[in-house]
A and B are shown apart, each in its own frame.
Chain A
Amino acid sequence: MTLTIYIIAKNGIILASDSRASSFLTSNDTVKKIFKLDNHNAVGIAGDGPLAMHFFDTISSELIFRNSVSALAEQMRSLGKARFDEFFSHQTPKDRPSLNITLAGYMLNGKPEIYTLNSNDNFVPRKSPTGFECIGIPIIANYLLNRLYEPEITTQHAAELAAFCIKETSSQDNRVGGPTQISSFSDTRQYAELSREEIEKIEKKCEQFRLLQKGNFYPEDVSGGAASSQDATRQQ
């Protein structure tokens, strides 16, 4: 399974994902789930990964990027519906594989926007009203982003927040995991993937974040304790 996160920061857009593909018995931690469409538009995927890769291979040459991201979303809806009807004409819509896509980019006025498109829903684009979007296994990340996201966040800290959401989710759900992938772009800055070293630095910082003051639920027992301590003894 997958967790892919998009965050709109005040100076750009951050995309992040885990890299785990899991099936009933196996998992693989090398799967790429965020992709550059052009220098200022990108997509993230959840669902059938191999299908998604082929899907984008077949439609990318037909996409026109000179217009806004909303126009791009509409092109993807149209191409997505046509391709799926062609790929899976032998299956009823409810029996077809599921593909979730998150698309992020800029309007002509420089405003960033995120859209989600789902194959089960004919790829009808839905615009994110919150400034962030999660697909795959989104519950924990949505909770964290609802609590922690503010539009004033910078791309640097949005990358840390996204990595934190992925790590928290992977700590609770083993369908999310493997090395984190993070990319960033803006209307003036080209799409770029963060290096492994940059991501490791971010993840190290995430280890210091405290989601909850867990210790508040475990205060010291004031009444207990000895005057001095004997050495530890092993129980048989």
Chain B
Amino acid sequence: MQPAIAVRALEKTYAEGAAGVPALRGVDLDVHPGELVMLMGPSGSGKTTLLSIMGCILSPTSGHVQIAGQEVGKLSEKQLPAIRLEHIGFVFQGFNLFPTLTAGENVELMLDLKGVRGEKAKNRSRELLERVGLADKYTTFPSDLSGGQKQRVAIARALAGDPQIILADEPTAALDSQTGQTVMEMMARLAHERDRAVVIVTHDSRVLSFADRIVRIEDGLIAKKRPESEVSPELLVHSAAQAGGILIA
């Protein structure tokens, strides 16, 4: 099966000083549809840089990045937004909802970018909010939502673009344990039930059980991959059981 994301010999050096600061030093990684991969590692190890490059937000210094079979490493900054819009959904640690828009409008904004407008967008937005358990929050502003609700709106927004890839940066960092579990259940369902490739950067060891694969990054290199075969069936059952009750698109 063609990987949703394929990264080869990826290097990224930030220009700082004469030599620059290497953030990634030759990373190879494939993420397949239906797979939930967690990127772990100490601060400054290169996780977020890798996520940014896979999300077409950052260009690599060298190496190859394929998104849905398309080489994006050499695309210009003008071409990258279209790739993001077409293939990638983001979930951020700080939620990054638009505070002046209601939950429904936040979702509609993504639909607007995709060219879906008017009543169709409103209906789709309501549908997505319903699927993350927030049907009654359509007209609620983010400031009136709890952290978990905000993250669920962010997930609904990411889903509005119908992406094949979901990239999440510390999605549970700002949430309490219970809410974090709920959010992770949703992410797991996105991968397993909707065949999406989900990559999560996390420091949160409480959510590791949801991973199909854990990739550790240290000093810009992949230190250890956890093979898919090592993910116990119990973990998957555990994930699926905890995710019950909320249907993800």
| Chain A complexes with chain B | no
Which residues on B are within 8 Å of A, measured CB to CB?
none
A-to-B contact residues, CB < 8 Å = none
